[in-house]
Amino acid sequence: MSYIPASNRYSSMLYRRCGKSGLKLPAVSLGLWHNFGDVDVMDNYRKTLHTAFDSGITHFDLANNYGPPPGSAEINFGRILKEDFAAHRDELIISTKAGYYMWEGPYGDWGSKKYLVSSLDQSLKRMGLDYVDIFYHHRPDPDTPLEETMAALDLIVRQGKALYVGLSNYRPKEAAEAIRILKELGTPCLIHQPKYSMFERWVEKEGLLDVLEKEGVGCIPFSPLAQGLLTNKYLKGIPADSRVAKGVGFLKESNITEERLSQISRLNDIALQRGQTLAQMALAWILKDDRVTTVLIGASKPEQLTDSLKCLENIKFGSEELQQIEQILA
């Protein structure tokens, strides 16, 4: 049966302006980093994409190397886009990135103009698109002049292959410089995608959020649930079926100390008092900051996505709650 989106899909989502741009993004965006590769079940991730759009999520975030295998998330997304979302392309914000290893040889990684332009051409082909809405440089390249990398982003916009450009994983000093160069080139930086959660707060401590606010650039944090630590999964210790127990993924058993488990448990108590799950509170905690445009979440099944979206029912925190949270995180 062909997919017909929910007619009330825009009724409950909160949309926020991205920096000083004309673009608004949903407060929650869907990332395709995991769960959309060839190793995953198509029927499941198809339903997840349907659920997202039915809920007012208009922004889908990819990268050249998402999978596994690398590239397969874009191919699979492109197929569903063609079959289910073709009539709704203009309602969607589709982003992709380049900056990590993608193919062999000296032009398949980092930040040269050669790599970025070639990578986006490949991404467009995989997704069956003429352009993406946002194209990011995925990480700074220590060996390529920043001017060259930013000139490549500017060129890509002028070629009509992307409407906007963004940065990911740039520290404040590099971000400020990249934003300045892009502004001078006439292609302003739209958005920055850093890693940010209750357990990973360098964006506050190093002043990245201040830089973005000053420059009028949006912010879209990834890994807001700290690879699953900020969910009810680890409340009773490490489950046998978890990625940690199996030794796969970025989260290691050594990260889950007694102290960390105690923090998770105490944060969960506050979440329950707020009428939220720990994951919902962790997402709301990021969205409480006006400098954050949207938070990027992953979902392995539609129900998980629906559950996460309930964070929007309460994104306000009292000063006492914030104080308690700070004490726990200290």
Confirm whether 293 is domain-assigned.
yes
248 has a pLDDT exceeding 70:
no
Q: Which residues contact 193 (CB under 8 A, 6 or more apart)?
A: 61, 136, 166, 167, 168, 169, 219, 220, 221, 222, 296
The Cα–Cα gap between 114 and 126 comes to 18
Confirm whether 244 is domain-assigned.
no
Q: Band of the pLDDT at 179, cuts 50, 70, 90?
A: very high
Contact status, residue 107 vs residue 118, Cβ threshold 8 Å: yes
Confirm whether 94 is domain-assigned.
yes
Confirm whether 2 is domain-assigned.
no
Q: Which domain holds residue 32?
A: 15-229+278-318
Higher pLDDT, 107 or 245: 107
The Cα–Cα gap between 135 and 144 comes to 18
> Given this model, what pLDDT does residue 50 score?
98
* Digit-coded pLDDT (tens) for 23-71: 999 999 999 999 999 999 999 999 999 999 999 999 999 999 999 999 9
Query: Residue 164 sits in a domain of what CATH number?
Result: 3.20.20.100
Confirm whether 246 is domain-assigned.
no
Half-sphere exposure of 43 (CA within 13 A, CB side): 1
Please name the residue that has the structure tokens 């949270």. 325
Confirm whether 170 is domain-assigned.
yes
Mean predicted confidence (pLDDT) in 128-148 = 98
> Given this model, what pLDDT does residue 284 score?
98
Confirm whether 263 is domain-assigned.
no
- How far are the Cα atoms of 65, 66, 110, 137 from residue 103, in angstroms, in the given order? 9, 13, 11, 16
Exposed, middle or buried by CB within 10 Å (0-12, 13-18, 19+), for 206? middle
Contact status, residue 181 vs residue 146, Cβ threshold 8 Å: yes
Mean predicted confidence (pLDDT) in 209-238 = 93
Confirm whether 119 is domain-assigned.
yes
220 has a pLDDT exceeding 80:
yes
Cut 0.85: pTM above it: yes
Our count of domains for the chain comes to: 1
Q: What is the rounded average pLDDT for all residues in the chain? A: 96
> Given this model, what pLDDT does residue 251 score?
75
